[in-house]
A and B are shown apart, each in its own frame.
Chain A
Amino acid sequence: DTAVSQTPKYLVTQMGNDKSIKCEQNLGHDTMYWYKQDSKKFLKIMFSYNNKELIINETVPNRFSPKSPDKAHLNLHINSLELGDSAVYFCASSLGRGGKLFFGSGTQLSVL
Chain B
Amino acid sequence: DQQVKQNSPSLSVQEGRISILNCDYTNSMFDYFLWYKKYPAEGPTFLISISSIKDKNEDGRFTVFLNKSAKHLSLHIVPSQPGDSAVYFCAASARGNKLVFGAGTILRVKS
Residues of chain A touching chain B, judged by Cβ–Cβ distance below 8 Å, are 4, 35, 40-45, 48, 56, 90, 92, 96-106
Contacts and interface: CB of A to CB of B under 8 A. Distances in A.
A100 B98 contact: no
Contact of B103 (A42, A97, A102): A42
A67 to B, nearest CB: 20
Contacts, number: 53
B33 to A, nearest CB: 11
A40 B103 CA distance: 7
Given A40-B103, A41-B104, A45-B98, A100 B43 contact: no
Question: Which 4 pairs show the lowest CB-CB distances between chains A and B?
Answer: A103-B43, A98-B96, A43-B101, A98-B93
Which range contains the number of B residues in contact with the other chain?
A: 20 to 34
B97 A98 contact: yes
B27 to A, nearest CB: 13
A103 B98 contact: no
Contacts of A35: 101
A101 B99 contact: yes
Nearest to B92: A98
B77 interface: no
Interface stretch (B14-22, B44-52, B53-61, B66-74): B44-52
B98 A56 contact: yes
Contacts of A92: 43
B89 A43 contact: yes
A102 B47 CA distance: 11
A100 B49 contact: yes
B42 A105 contact: yes
A98 B31 CA distance: 11
B43 A98 contact: no
